[in-house]
Structure 1
Amino acid sequence: MSVEIPLVALLAVFGYFGIKLFRPPTWLVVTLLLGGFLLADTFIAPVIEGGAETGTQIVNNTND
């Protein structure tokens, strides 16, 4: 049996509990979110996407 959870929902849960448990400063959370959003529109985006795909393949044990 396999369960499929949308990535956004999983990230929201991890983010919620991460903020509740570790209590990072608000400026740090905002800076990381804004920085990630801004990096998505630069020349580094394909490298980030490739790294995310490779990490997903490693975690899921798939070889495409």
Structure 2
Amino acid sequence: MDVPLWFALIVVGYLGIKLIRPPWWLVAVLLLGGYLLADSVLAPVIDATVK
């Protein structure tokens, strides 16, 4: 069964918010921080570390 990555991320995110119940400001900060880091000078370093 092939599941698209965007769908899996939405399901995991929804379940994480429902089960763990983090504050909404924390979710917003993590999403914005990830978006900004992906377009920064540190992106190649993070990519190499993750792989």
TM-score range, shorter chain: 0.7 to 0.9
**Under a length normalisation based on structure 1, what TM-score does the superposition of the two structures give?**
0.71
Unaligned runs of 5+ in 1: 55-64
Counterpart of 1:60 in structure 2 is: none
- Who wins on radius of gyration, i.e. which is larger? 1
Q: Which ranges of structure 2 fall in alignment gaps of 5 or more residues? A: none
Give aligned pairs, total.
50
Identity %: 58
- Of structures 1 and 2, the one with the larger relative CO (CA 8 A, separation 6+) is 2
Partners of 1:44 and 1:4 in 2: CA distance: 31
Tell me how large the CA RMSD over aligned residues is. 1.0
Q: TM-score, normalised by structure 2?
A: 0.86
Q: Select which of 4, 7, 14 maps to 1:6.
A: 4
